[in-house]
Structure 1
Amino acid sequence: MSPFASGVRRLGLTAGLFALSAQPAAFAQTAESAARTKSAAPRPRKIPTTLPENITVTGLARGPALLYPVGETTYSSDRKDFANHAAQSVAAMVVTVPGVSFMQGNGPRDTVISVRGSGARQSYGLKNLQVTEDGFPVTQPDGTARADLIDPHAYAGVDVFQGPASTLYGNYAINGAINFRTRDGADIEGLELGSDFGSFGMVNTYMTLGTGNRRYDFTLFGSDVRADGFQPNSRYETSTENMRLRVALTSSDRLVLKVINNVTDTYLPLRLSLDQFRTNPFQRGCANAADAAPGCASVRLFVNGRDGATQATSPQQAGLGRFDRRTIVGLRWEHDFTPRTLWRTQFTYDQRHIDQPTSTAAYVGPYNSYNVQTDLTSRSHLGKMPLTSFAGANFDYLDYGSQVYDLTPQGGATRGALNSTSYGHQQNIGLRFQEDWQFDPLWHAVIGLGGTWSNIGAVETLYSYGTQPQAPRFVTADRSFLNLAPEASLVYAPDTAWTLHTRVGTAYATPGYSSFFVTPQGTYGNNARLKSETSLGFDLGAEWHPRAGLSVQMTGFYEFYRNELVSQSAGVNAPAGPYTFNAPESEHRGVELGATWQVLRETLPGARLKLSYTYDNQIYTRYTQVLSNATASRGFSLKGNRIPGVAPHFLDARVLYDQPDGLLEGVGGFVEINWRSDMWIDNANMLRLPGYTLLNLELHYDPPARLGWAHRLHSYFEIMNVTDQVYPAGGTVISDSLLANGQQAGAAVLANKTGSIYAGSPRAFFGGVRIRF
């Protein structure tokens, strides 16, 4: 059963809990309790019209809860989809989720997750999404979330809420929200030790400790992963600790404590131009820029570390990389005023400290954020039908200070002169309301309204050097934004075979402070006139369960954007990174399809097919791009052009088998095809990034209980990229340019623009073992 249907069909047990599960601060508790019961949940033919009376909360023994927001397109990936193989990054958790794609970011676990194309134009992190873990925010107030801290071994699953979702999730939920669920201690009940190992020196050692009962539940996870990487200057080490403690203080009061800590230490290769990728995708023979092989990437660094002559330097010679620390601590209090009225309040502290010599400069600084959320949910009746009323508020604040230093060619990421500094804050204050009414046994309706006031205040100081003393130049930004987001959804479930839903949702995302200070040339300067992007989206979906063993879910979406924030790279030698601009009008439309089918349920019950497909067609409907050279400027209409960075087609198909009995009970595996179509990587649609098809194989063994102590072991072996394809795992959008003759540069010129492509891994072999005590 897919997430959407399982949620709808449990309305009889949980009418009125939608607001709890959808609100980030409140999601975790309902999701965790429901996840343990969803596979055994009954499937009533009709939705009961009255609430059950036995819903009083006692300690941690929570009753079944509605797991997913009613009317919003929702998909999930559970532990069984990713726990049996290497799962080195979050990509392994979401590859089977329709509507979700991913690309390689700046580091081994810095996977760029995209929901309906949300972050596809970014070079790092998770953008245009609100990300939570066990209900605690992982997205900072500037809209930045990173996947470095996610080790899939720690998680029970991930839930993806798709489409405009600012009504409940606030700022930056322009394409939806993601909640990661860690495992329950009561399900672990002991100690698990594991190790993964494989090609390119990869070793991941991890442990999970868990225990729980009606009064408390405790989970502790820790891992250390390191590898040499499959190309020069890509060696890395990442350590992660993750803890959650739930305690029932009284029959009506509960506390949840959450701690995440991550240290990422990685060298970084440079992003390539398309020509460099075609010539030398894995950067062989590039260690010394002076006598480098063809197709090698390099940066030009000031010889004296501040101005004047530059020298070509390879990533190894420069010592490019990242050393980042991230610590998140959250505490939530839940109080039942009555069995039908719940109040939740939580506080989260999130510190991100970066040291990133990633190109011509090193970026250094702390980013401290504070988040407070509170919400009240009341379950009652309107007439004779269940009604849930929800109200919530949040305040978050980011205080940051960053310095940028020019790098020198001396090696070891040696800093030269101070290039610029930036100090400031970003804050968001939000309110949200929602009414959830089951107005008929077969119908369900939700309406809501959310709003956020945001303020960004920052000062950038620019330093320049020369033969004469240069006075610092200041760029200031003091912007406030007020955005509102109404939504409405309707669900019709005529029987257990069909569920239909439709939704109108809205969302918004304010520009992040960093985008205010980068010019179209990729230099530091004034770009503070950016506007908030907003969207209006329509979803129409159906879920079909004609018989046991067959489940199909399909959703069509059409979303209208205003002032969409689009970023593009000016090349690896641009000191300030990507430039961001507003595209006045654009449209996103597409189809998401997910299916699971036990083809031979009676004769071969261990076999099944799993399919995930996304079609995502994004176009500009009003935008004129202005290009300049040394003597002239020209405007080019991009109406009808595809928005770059978004692959129109993304497919994952698996043939799985698990032997349910007999001599080979516990043996299983899958064959996987992962296909991404080609896509444009510039606004003018001159240059395409090639698509690819990957073949992956996996085999695992979980000994049955009859084998005694051996039942505690799990082992696996897998081959990734079986056919050894050379493919682009990451590709950021590049800027167009105007030639000296006044003509727009074509594909041949753009193919030489650097700062875009990371090659994907060649054929790789991995194995692992896990033991429970």
Structure 2
Amino acid sequence: MSATAQTATQTLPTIDVETSQQSSSVPPSLAVQTAEQALQQIQQTPGGVAVVPADAYKNNSVASTIKDILDYVPGVFAQPKFGDDTRLSIRGSGLSRNFHLRGVQLFMDGIPINTSDGYGDFQEIDPTAYKFVEVWKGANALRFGANSLGGAINFVTPTGRDANINSAGIDMGAFGYRRFQGNVGGANGPWDGFFTASNQQSQGFRDHSYGHDTRASGNIGYQFSPDFETRFYIDANDVRQRIPGSVTRTSALTDPAAAAPVNVANDWQRNIDTVRIANKTTMRFDNTTVEFGAFGVDRHLMHPIYQWLDYHYHDYGGFVRATDDRVINGYRNKFVAGINILDGTIDARQYANVGGYKGTPVSSLLQKPENYSGYAENSFYVLPNVALIAGTQYLFAVRDQQVNFSLNGDVNGRSTFSLWSPKTGFLWDVDPTWQVFGNISRSAEVPSFGESVAPNFQNPTFPTIPFFDIKAQTATTYEIGTRGKRPDLTWELTGYRANIRNELLCFYNTFGNCNVTNADRTVHQGIEAGLGAAIVKNIFVQGDGADKLWVNLAYTFNDFRFDNDPTYHNNQIPGAPRHFLRAELLYKHPNGFYIGPNIEWVPQAYYVDSANTLATQAYAIWGLKAGIDDGKYSFYLEARNIANKAYIASASIINQANLNSPLFEPGNGRAVYAGIKVRW
């Protein structure tokens, strides 16, 4: 291949790790990349992206939630609420969603985890199951048909063609935590297979936060030839979780283990059973690769809260994607185009919650979301190391609700959305270790059925807006940044500004529950900075395999504001800290031994209401971890929040709060965990 057709420079995220290679004796998978290949591909994107290899967290940490995966990805705010549940926001996405997830689309091997109306959960995510995780911020997630401000996260499982995939491990620690996990896989001629399973349980730090879950997933692949592969996926989850609930600020800081009294009295829970099946087929023709597939998801949510929610989700869809990478008249040109379909039905039934048991029926709804998106993007290399990039995405979405019976005041309704999201940018490989990028992009987010949750409770100031009158949220984002990797230095620095119309925000509430409607104009802007560096080398071991003192840092600056709003003027948008820092300092020995402290710091309290009258509290917590990993055996010991500080990890939001508003989720107290794993 000529110089003009060389791929973009391979750089690494801010985590100093070695990623596993595929076995040289087994042909690699055509459909599933290695972490190195994924990193090389994702960083041909002219915007904020990251690949987190499993070695960054899986063998040296308890790795029980999505926070453990994303801790060192700048721009991502992931904080635990209870059990596996997390408040996740990327660039201020979904801040008004006080339950579940909105604004970031989750995928497993490219198969949607979010439901077809856009809401997501974290209980189906098993951090021990993946070989790497891709983070596509904002409109940079165009390839997934992602249409949200936060972008997309894709969790990628190994195949039987990866090396050293057989493993077993045990993790135990504070608050009754224990997990057993194992993987098995291999290849035989054209066939290969991989299977992973885990069982986890915890009493939880807070009262009424006991939970246990069993998760299993696997895939079987068949290679008709080196250029033709098909792969079948299955994923199943059984999750049972008590909900301690949000409490007042005073309770969170003085009695953090206490649960909300109503949650205990009515035995609030979130229980989920899911089965996901899919097929993905990949074909390669000279300079063109075509991927296509289909999937189906059956999800049962059993959710006693203010009412007993019994929801059955049936989601299904398909996708096709073509990538053409060739030299045209001496210039490299890469063209990507695809279509995504995600449809479903939601049988949403609610009952009175009588001490955690089903009471009399309250409502029965049939909801039918539909999502059809098409996208195309072209990267033209005007120089061997400079690409000009342009693309667009079109989304057509439907939200249809039929009311069979309701005492909640639910009404029939249907809304449709037709949205274009163009994008343009550039990518400059300054040298083989350094990139500069920039883009101007559009994103669009369609509301889910859960946005207007109390249609019959009228507010005298703000009349109730039914879900079918809520508009789509759109944003134009300006982004510029740089990333790179030198032998003892990795970095990422990105600045962005998103001008948003009709942001889905909390403008009024009933019974403490935030009802979402559209703001007029808002602004999200910030800085995302990541750094990994060997600050000292050759301490006790000299030469190429020297020991080192490595610093790893992820800093996020958030400035989210209303823009001359009639009610909230230029107030800060509540729900996320203005400054967020994660950092660690590790001594690393070439034999695999490591030890060092880490810190999480929120130096400034942030508001929990749009009126900016009530805030959280600034905090800093620190921990320590040590262990050894020789590639076959690994052992770690990890201490978290060693000072046992009472702090607010996350918060729900509201329009107007007071000191009695139950909006705060305390972070865990002092905890120690240990784990051992063997790989072969």
TM, length-normalised to structure 2: 0.90
- Tell me how far 1:276 sits from its aligned partner: 3.0
Contact kept? 1:520, 1:570, Cα under 8 Å: no
Q: Deviations over 1:380-406 (max 9, x none)?
A: 333210112222112211101111112
Partner of 1:642: 572
Partner of 1:125: 100
Paired residue secondary structure (1:276): helix
Q: Deviations over 1:107-160 (max 9, x none)?
A: 411222221121343233332122222222222221122221122111222121
Are 2:169 and 1:226 aligned?
no
Contact kept? 1:715, 1:767, Cα under 8 Å: yes
Are 2:677 and 1:770 aligned?
yes
Q: 1:693 to 1:134 in 2, by over 3 A?
A: same
Paired residue secondary structure (2:575): coil
Partner of 1:330: 278
Deviates more, 1:56-65 or 1:202-211: 56-65
Partner of 1:352: 299
Alpha-carbon distance in 2 for matches of 1:421, 1:605: 63
Partner of 1:605: 547
Partner of 1:373: 319
- Tell me how far 1:329 sits from its aligned partner: 1.0
Are 2:487 and 1:548 aligned?
yes
Contact kept? 2:577, 2:606, Cα under 8 Å: yes
Structure with the bigger percentage of strand: 2
Partner of 2:379: 436
Partner of 1:395: 341
Which residue of 443, 458, 470 corresponds with 1:530? 470
Alpha-carbon distance in 2 for matches of 1:59, 1:181: 11
Are 2:497 and 1:558 aligned?
yes
- Tell me how far 1:67 sits from its aligned partner: 2.1
Paired residue secondary structure (1:101): strand
Structural mapping, 1:93-492, within 5 Å:
93-105=69-81, 107-165=82-140, 167-189=142-164, 191-212=166-187, 215-283=190-258, 297-299=260-262, 315-336=263-284, 338-358=285-305, 360-408=306-354, 411=355, 413-460=356-403, 463-464=406-407, 475-492=411-428
Deviates more, 1:110-119 or 1:514-523: 514-523
Identity %: 21
Q: 1:544 to 1:485 in 2, by over 3 A?
A: same
Q: 1:216 to 1:59 in 2, by over 3 A?
A: farther
Contact kept? 2:98, 2:652, Cα under 8 Å: yes
Paired residue secondary structure (1:128): coil
Deviates more, 1:548-557 or 1:137-146: 137-146
Partner of 1:67: 41
Q: 1:267 to 1:176 in 2, by over 3 A?
A: same
Q: 1:86 to 1:71 in 2, by over 3 A?
A: same
Paired residue secondary structure (1:656): strand
Partner of 2:542: none
Are 2:551 and 1:614 aligned?
no
Q: Deviations over 1:586-644 (max 9, x none)?
A: 011110101111112344633210110000100010433xxxxxxxxxxxx21211011
Contact kept? 1:57, 1:252, Cα under 8 Å: no
Paired residue secondary structure (1:700): strand
Q: 1:229 to 1:757 in 2, by over 3 A?
A: same
Amino acid in the other structure paired with 1:566: L
Alpha-carbon distance in 2 for matches of 1:393, 1:257: 20
Q: 1:638 to 1:404 in 2, by over 3 A?
A: same
Q: 1:166 to 1:208 in 2, by over 3 A?
A: closer
Deviates more, 1:443-452 or 1:153-162: 153-162
Amino acid in the other structure paired with 2:196: F
- Tell me how far 1:269 sits from its aligned partner: 1.3
Paired residue secondary structure (1:323): strand
Which residue of 410, 426, 432 corresponds with 1:496? 432
Partner of 2:659: 751
Contact kept? 1:517, 1:528, Cα under 8 Å: no
Contact kept? 2:176, 2:203, Cα under 8 Å: yes
User: CA RMSD of the aligned region, Å?
Assistant: 2.9
Deviates more, 1:415-424 or 1:677-686: 415-424
- Tell me how far 1:682 sits from its aligned partner: 0.3
Contact kept? 2:103, 2:149, Cα under 8 Å: yes
Alpha-carbon distance in 1 for matches of 2:153, 2:197: 22
- Tell me how far 1:249 sits from its aligned partner: 1.8
Q: 1:190 to 1:381 in 2, by over 3 A?
A: closer
- Tell me how far 1:533 sits from its aligned partner: 0.3
- Tell me how far 1:365 sits from its aligned partner: 1.4
Please say which structure displays the higher CA radius of gyration: 1
Structural mapping, 1:42-53, within 5 Å:
none
Alpha-carbon distance in 1 for matches of 2:497, 2:557: 12
Are 2:587 and 1:668 aligned?
no
Contact kept? 1:75, 1:159, Cα under 8 Å: yes
Paired residue secondary structure (1:168): helix
Paired residue secondary structure (1:599): strand
Which residue of 504, 512, 536 corresponds with 2:448? 512
In the alignment, structure 2 segments of 5+ residues that lack a partner are 11-17, 23-27, 540-545
Contact kept? 1:171, 1:510, Cα under 8 Å: no
Alpha-carbon distance in 2 for matches of 1:194, 1:498: 38
Amino acid in the other structure paired with 1:532: A
Partner of 1:631: none
**Between Structure 1 and Structure 2, how many residues are aligned?**
653
Partner of 1:680: 607
Are 2:642 and 1:722 aligned?
yes
Paired residue secondary structure (2:143): helix
Q: Deviations over 1:734-759 (max 9, x none)?
A: 232xxxxxxxxxx6xx11012x2221
Q: Deviations over 1:142-198 (max 9, x none)?
A: 112222112211122212111334643335432221111223434444631111111
Structural mapping, 1:731-746, within 5 Å:
731-736=651-656
Q: 1:509 to 1:520 in 2, by over 3 A?
A: farther
Q: Deviations over 1:534-580 (max 9, x none)?
A: 010011112355x5202222111011100001247847x56xx5411
Contact kept? 2:110, 2:144, Cα under 8 Å: no
